[in-house]
Chain A
Amino acid sequence: MNAAPQSAELPDARGPAQAGGATASASGPAAPPSAGPGGHAERLCAWFDGELDDEGAAPLTAELLRDPALQAQYRRWCLVSDALRSSEVLAGHAPRLCTRISQALQDEPALLAPRALPLRSFVRRHVVSGVAVAAAAAVLVFVAVPQLRGNLGDAGQPLTAAAPGAGALASVQAGARAPVSPRLEPYLRAHRDLSGAGIMPAAGVSLRYGPLEGERR
Chain B
Amino acid sequence: MSERDADLQLVRRVQQGDKRAFELLVGKYQRRITRLLSRMMRDPADIEDVAQEAFIKAYRALPNFRGDSAFYTWLYRIAINTAKNHFAAQGRRAPTVVANDIEDQENSEDSVHLSDTATPDSLYQSKQVGLAVNRAIDQLPPDLRTAIVLRELEGLSYDEIAEAMSCPVGTVRSRIFRAREAIAQELRPLLETREDERW
Contact = CB atoms under 8 A, between A and B. Distances in A.
Interface in B47-84: 47-48, 51-52, 55-56, 59-60, 62-67
A108 B166 CA distance: 50
Interface residues of A, number: 81
Contacts of A88: 35, 112, 114, 126
A193 to B, nearest CB: 55
Interface stretch (A68-76, A137-145, A155-163, A179-187): A68-76
Given A83-B187, A84-B152, A85-B152, 15 more contacts: A9-B143, A9-B171, A12-B171, A28-B144, A45-B177, A61-B9, A72-B199, A82-B32, A85-B153, A91-B125, A91-B129, A92-B35, A94-B31, A101-B56, A112-B17
A109 B199 CA distance: 24
Contact of B145 (A1, A19, A73, A76): A1
B52 to A, nearest CB: 5
Given A29-B141, A74-B24, A83-B129, A92 B15 contact: no
Contacts of A92: 31, 34-35, 38, 47, 122
Chain B interface bracket (under 10, 10 to 19, 20 to 34, 35 or more): 35 or more
Contacts of B92: none
B198 A89 contact: no
Nearest to B34: A92
Interface in A43-80: 45-54, 57-58, 61, 64-65, 71-80
A216 interface: no
Contacts of B175: 9, 28
Contact of A28 (B5, B143, B180): B143
Interface of A: 1-6, 9-14, 18-19, 22, 25, 27-29, 31-32, 41-42, 45-54, 57-58, 61, 64-65, 71-102, 104-105, 108, 110-113, 115-118
Nearest to A2: B142
A51 B30 contact: no
A80 B187 contact: yes
Contacts of B21: 61, 65
Contacts of B41: none
B83 to A, nearest CB: 15
B104 to A, nearest CB: 14
B127 A113 contact: no
A111 B13 CA distance: 9
Contacts of A54: 1, 5
B6 A101 contact: no
